[in-house]
Amino acid sequence: MCGIVGAVAQRDVAEILVEGLRRLEYRGYDSAGVAIINNRELSRVRRVGKVSELADALQSQPHAGGTGIAHTRWATHGEPNEVNAHPHRSEDIAVVHNGIIENYESLREMLRGKGYEFVSDTDTEVIAHLVLDKLKATGSLLQAVQEARKEMTGAYGMAVIDQNQPEHLVVARSGSPLVIGLGIGENFVASDQMALLPVTRKFMFLEEGDVAEITRTDVSIFDLNDKPVERTASESDLKHDAGDKGEYRHFMMKEIHEQPEALAATLEGRIVNGEIVTEAFGANSNDILKKVEAIQIVACGTSYNSAMASRYWFEEIAGIPCQVEIASEFRYRKSVVLPNSLLITLSQSGETADTLAALRMAKDLGFMSTLTICNVPGSSLVRESDLAYMMRAGVEIGVASTKAFTVQLAGLMLLILSIAKHRGVDPALIQEITQGLTELPKQIEKALEMEEAIKVLAEDFADKHHTLFLGRGSQYPIAMEGALKLKEISYIHAEAYAAGELKHGPLALIDDDMPVIVVAPNNDLLEKLKSNMEEVRARGGQLYVFADKNAGFESAEGVKVIELDHINNYLAPVLYTIPMQLLSYYVAIIKGTDVDQPRNLAKAVTVE
Ligand code: G6P
CATH number at residue 558: 3.40.50.10490
Contact 346, 408 (CB under 8 A): yes
In the reported structure, the alpha carbon of residue 605 is separated from the centroid of ligand 1 by a whole-number distance in angstroms of 7
Separation CA 211–CA 207 (nearest Å):
9
Q: How many helices (H) and strands (E) does the chain have?
A: 18, 27
Q: Is the CB of 300 under 6 A from ligand 1?
A: yes
Predicted pLDDT of residue 80: 85
Q: How would residue 556 be classed by pLDDT, with cut points 50, 70 and 90? A: confident
CA-to-CA dists, residue 129 to 73, 116, 117, 178, 583, angstroms: 20, 7, 9, 22, 49
Q: What is the CA radius of gyration of the chain?
A: 25
Bridge partners, residue 71, by sequence: 4, 33
Predicted pLDDT of residue 602: 83
CB atoms under 10 Å from CB of 311, counted, come to: 18
Separation CA 415–CA 413 (nearest Å):
5
Q: pLDDT, tens digit, for every residue of 155-179?
A: 889 999 999 999 999 999 987 889 9
Using the predicted structure, report yes or no on whether residue 71 has a pLDDT greater than 90: yes
Is 243 domain-assigned?
no
Q: pLDDT, tens digit, for every residue of 310-327?
A: 999 999 999 999 999 999
Q: Which of 235, 259, 277 is the last residue of a domain?
A: 235
In the reported structure, the alpha carbon of residue 328 is separated from the centroid of ligand 1 by a whole-number distance in angstroms of 13
In the reported structure, the alpha carbon of residue 62 is separated from the centroid of ligand 1 by a whole-number distance in angstroms of 36
Q: Is the CB of 475 under 6 A from ligand 1?
A: no
Q: Is the CB of 347 under 6 A from ligand 1?
A: yes
Same domain, 11 and 108: yes
Length of the chain: 608
Average pLDDT over residues 277-283: 84
Bridge partners, residue 493, by sequence: 466
Same domain, 140 and 93: yes
Q: Is the CB of 305 under 6 A from ligand 1?
A: no
Predicted pLDDT of residue 274: 85
CA-to-CA dists, residue 436 to 104, 419, 427, 520, 567, angstroms: 53, 17, 14, 19, 8
Same domain, 218 and 259: no
Q: How would residue 75 be classed by pLDDT, with cut points 50, 70 and 90? A: confident
Q: Which of 2, 300, 322, 374 is catalytic?
A: 2
Contact 37, 165 (CB under 8 A): no
Is 462 domain-assigned?
yes
Same domain, 220 and 275: no
Same domain, 395 and 450: yes
- In the chain, the amino acid numbered 497 is Y
Instruction: Specify the number of domains making up the chain.
Output: 2
In the reported structure, the alpha carbon of residue 325 is separated from the centroid of ligand 1 by a whole-number distance in angstroms of 15
Nearest CA to ligand 1 atom 7: 301
Nearest CA to ligand 1 atom 1: 603
Q: How would residue 341 be classed by pLDDT, with cut points 50, 70 and 90? A: very high
Q: pLDDT, tens digit, for every residue of 236-255?
A: 877 766 778 889 999 999 99
Is 189 domain-assigned?
yes
Same domain, 209 and 261: no
Torsion of CA 137, 142, 147, 151, to 10 degrees: 120
Q: Strands 271-272 and 275-276, how do they pair?
A: antiparallel
Instruction: Give residue 458's domain range.
Output: 251-591
Contact 182, 212 (CB under 8 A): no
Predicted pLDDT of residue 117: 96
Tell me which DSSP letter residue 568 carries.
-
242 contact partners, CB below 8 Å, separation of at least 6: 194, 197, 394, 395
Using the predicted structure, report yes or no on whether residue 522 has a pLDDT greater than 80: no
Is 295 domain-assigned?
yes
Q: Is the CB of 301 under 6 A from ligand 1?
A: yes
Using the predicted structure, report yes or no on whether residue 467 has a pLDDT greater than 90: yes
Average pLDDT over residues 28-56: 93
Torsion of CA 107, 191, 601, 306, to 10 degrees: -120
Bridge partners, residue 35, by sequence: 44, 69
Nearest CA to ligand 1 atom 2: 603
Is 242 domain-assigned?
no
Please indicate whether residue 544 or residue 177 has the higher confidence score (pLDDT): 544
247 contact partners, CB below 8 Å, separation of at least 6: none
Separation CA 77–CA 190 (nearest Å):
22
Q: Is the CB of 176 under 6 A from ligand 1?
A: no
Predicted pLDDT of residue 554: 85
Q: Is the CB of 352 under 6 A from ligand 1?
A: yes
Separation CA 588–CA 598 (nearest Å):
10
Separation CA 275–CA 374 (nearest Å):
22
Same domain, 453 and 531: yes
In the reported structure, the alpha carbon of residue 373 is separated from the centroid of ligand 1 by a whole-number distance in angstroms of 13
Same domain, 460 and 578: yes
What backbone torsions phi and psi does residue 347 show, to the nearest 5 degrees? Answer: -165, 135
Predicted pLDDT of residue 79: 85
Separation CA 543–CA 471 (nearest Å):
13
Ligand 1 probe mutation, 191, 310, 352, most atoms within 8 A of CB: 352
What backbone torsions phi and psi does residue 439 show, to the nearest 5 degrees? Answer: -85, -10
- In the chain, the amino acid numbered 404 is A
Q: Is the CB of 408 under 6 A from ligand 1?
A: no
Q: How would residue 370 be classed by pLDDT, with cut points 50, 70 and 90? A: very high
CA 384 from centroid of its chain's CA atoms: 17
Bridge partners, residue 204, by sequence: 180, 233
Nearest CA to ligand 1 atom 3: 301
Instruction: Looking at the CA of residue 352, tell me the nearest atom of ligand 1.
Output: 15
Average pLDDT over residues 213-223: 97
Same domain, 193 and 335: no
Q: Is the CB of 45 under 6 A from ligand 1?
A: no
Average pLDDT over residues 35-60: 94
With 0-12 / 13-18 / 19 or more C-beta atoms within 10 angstroms meaning exposed / middle / buried, residue 509 is: middle
Using the predicted structure, report yes or no on whether residue 496 has a pLDDT greater than 70: yes
- In the chain, the amino acid numbered 422 is H
Q: Is the CB of 328 under 6 A from ligand 1?
A: no
Which candidate, 351, 598, 590, 581, places its Cα nearest to that of 482? Answer: 581
Using the predicted structure, report yes or no on whether residue 498 has a pLDDT greater than 80: yes
Same domain, 352 and 294: yes
Is 176 domain-assigned?
yes
Predicted pLDDT of residue 2: 83
Would you call 2 a catalytic residue per the annotation? yes
Contact 347, 372 (CB under 8 A): yes
Predicted pLDDT of residue 555: 87
Using the predicted structure, report yes or no on whether residue 145 has a pLDDT greater than 80: yes
Assign residue 378 a region (left: φ > 0; alpha: ψ between -120 and 50; beta: otherwise). left
Is 539 domain-assigned?
yes
In the reported structure, the alpha carbon of residue 291 is separated from the centroid of ligand 1 by a whole-number distance in angstroms of 30
Contact 400, 488 (CB under 8 A): yes
CA 554 from centroid of its chain's CA atoms: 38
Would you call 603 a catalytic residue per the annotation? yes
CATH classification at residue 200: 3.60.20.10
With 0-12 / 13-18 / 19 or more C-beta atoms within 10 angstroms meaning exposed / middle / buried, residue 78 is: middle
Using the predicted structure, report yes or no on whether residue 28 has a pLDDT greater than 80: no
* Local structure of 142: helix, strand or coil: helix
CA-to-CA dists, residue 315 to 279, 342, 420, angstroms: 22, 14, 10
Ligand 1 probe mutation, 605, 606, 607, most atoms within 8 A of CB: 605
Is 93 domain-assigned?
yes
What backbone torsions phi and psi does residue 396 show, to the nearest 5 degrees? Answer: -115, 125
Q: How would residue 328 be classed by pLDDT, with cut points 50, 70 and 90? A: very high
In the reported structure, the alpha carbon of residue 307 is separated from the centroid of ligand 1 by a whole-number distance in angstroms of 13
Q: Is the CB of 348 under 6 A from ligand 1?
A: yes
Q: Is the CB of 401 under 6 A from ligand 1?
A: yes
Ligand 1 probe mutation, 603, 606, 607, 608, most atoms within 8 A of CB: 603
Using the predicted structure, report yes or no on whether residue 208 has a pLDDT greater than 90: no
Using the predicted structure, report yes or no on whether residue 296 has a pLDDT greater than 90: yes
Which candidate, 268, 264, 288, places its Cα nearest to that of 276? Answer: 268
Predicted pLDDT of residue 240: 67
Separation CA 580–CA 256 (nearest Å):
11
Whole-number percent of the chain with pLDDT over 90? 77
Q: What share of the chain is helix, strand, coil (3-state, %, to 5)?
A: 40, 25, 35
